[in-house]
Amino acid sequence: MSFSPRMQKGSLDTARPNRHGKITKETVALGGVSVTRVTCGVGAKWSRDLKGYVGTEIANYPMLPLFFPESCML
């Protein structure tokens, strides 16, 4: 296997948080690909926490959500 200088290591735990109300986003870039973790606090709502910042009525972004059951309480 060869080494690629585009391959990097990154950690979402060291990413600078971008907070909007009860919603927090952390992003790291790895070789031109962005990886983002979004954390929605209890009671988070698009209409209250992000609508004014993003400027859309609904969340219309392409997403591939990953859920980690051990960290979620339903």
- Three-state DSSP state, 45: coil
**Which pLDDT belongs to residue 28?**
87
**Which pLDDT belongs to residue 61?**
65
Distance CA 49, CA 42 (A): 12
**Which pLDDT belongs to residue 67?**
59
**Which pLDDT belongs to residue 42?**
87
Contact 3, 9 (CB under 8 A): no
Digit-by-digit pLDDT tens for the chain (74 residues) are 455 555 567 788 888 999 999 989 898 887 777 888 888 888 888 888 888 888 888 777 666 566 555 554 43
